[in-house]
Structure 1
Amino acid sequence: MIGERTLTSVAWLCVENGRLLAVRTKGRDAFYLPGGKPEPGETLARALVREVREEVGVELEAHRITPVVTITAPAHGRPGTVVEMHCFSAPGHGDPAPAAEIEELTWLGPADHYLCAPAVGKALDHLTSVGGWGNES
């Protein structure tokens, strides 16, 4: 939309046992997907690997990163800003645990929109529409 600022981000879709991994950063009231903003000159895949390692301590298999969907939604807590969230799947090694600015981890189900940022709600809807609640990561 005219006058809106767009933020580009990457996100890891980690689904286990019919639940989607989500994180809450310190000082925030909504859950997001593990990921973040690419640094200047950084590819989306490299940004994903770096952000997931920093936020939840999981090492993604970079050669197996697969684009899933790109979601555009209002940026949570940033009026006049939209986020363009590039969502990927990839196998990872290690058990997710809060690190860096992450205060809490949770596993969301299809009806947990009320707990998360708008873009994450759209990710939940996407997983439902494609039957993506199986046991993949």
Structure 2
Amino acid sequence: MTVIDKVAWLEIRNGKILSTRSRGRHKYYFPGGKREAGESDWDALSREIREELSVDLREDSLKLVGVFQAQADHHPEGVQVKMTCYEATFRGILKPANEIEEVVWLSYHDRDKVSPVDQVIFDWLKERKLLG
């Protein structure tokens, strides 16, 4: 089995979670991405968020939420994505940058609009009454 290793930032406000859509895609994904060679979770996450959303995460606020795994979207059956998710406060104004075309706040009712691993996280957040 092939596993794609990613990090993601979970930002929840008023029962909704921040999500992004890349150019040419129909599904929404949590902001984040893959590590470059030698990067720590913090290095990868802070770089990806700066590149995608033009804000800076605060390292002193970084908190592990959990690790989730599911079928990778747009990959052959059996290719999994493992997503290590963090919360953190940020500085700046959220705005789409680079490949990100849209930034949205989604509720649990939008679960069908996200990737399989994000659906697993949606369920986990709903069980904990963090997502409306």
- Please classify the TM superposition score into its range, dividing by the shorter chain length: over 0.9
Which residue among 15, 20, 23 is the counterpart of 1:18?
15
Q: Secondary structure at the match of 2:109?
A: coil
Counterpart position of 1:123: 121
Which residue among 64, 71, 83 is the counterpart of 2:61?
64
Instruction: Please report how far the alpha carbon of residue 5 of structure 1 lies from its aligned counterpart in structure 2 after TM superposition.
Output: 1.0
Instruction: Please report how far the alpha carbon of residue 59 of structure 1 lies from its aligned counterpart in structure 2 after TM superposition.
Output: 0.7
- CA–CA distance in structure 2, aligned partners of residues 94 and 127 of structure 1: 26
Q: Secondary structure at the match of 2:27?
A: coil
Per the normalisation by structure 2, the TM-score is 0.94
Is 2:122–2:131's contact at 8 Å kept on the other side of the alignment?
no
- CA–CA distance in structure 2, aligned partners of residues 63 and 106 of structure 1: 26
Per the normalisation by structure 1, the TM-score is 0.91
**Superposition CA RMSD, Å:** 1.3
- CA–CA distance in structure 1, aligned partners of residues 59 and 35 of structure 2: 15
Per-residue Cα deviation, 1:10-57 (whole angstroms, up to 9, x for no partner): 000001121100001111110000000011100011111110111011
* Gapped regions of structure 1 (runs ≥ 5): none
Per-residue Cα deviation, 1:83-118 (whole angstroms, up to 9, x for no partner): 000010001112211101101111110121111101
- CA–CA distance in structure 2, aligned partners of residues 120 and 20 of structure 1: 11
Does residue 47 of structure 2 align to residue 47 of structure 1? no
Identity %: 38
Is 2:4–2:82's contact at 8 Å kept on the other side of the alignment?
yes
- CA–CA distance in structure 1, aligned partners of residues 82 and 112 of structure 2: 20
* Gapped regions of structure 2 (runs ≥ 5): none
Which residue among 30, 38, 63 is the counterpart of 1:33?
30
Which residue among 71, 75, 98 is the counterpart of 1:74?
71
Amino acid at match of 1:127: L
- CA–CA distance in structure 2, aligned partners of residues 14 and 88 of structure 1: 9
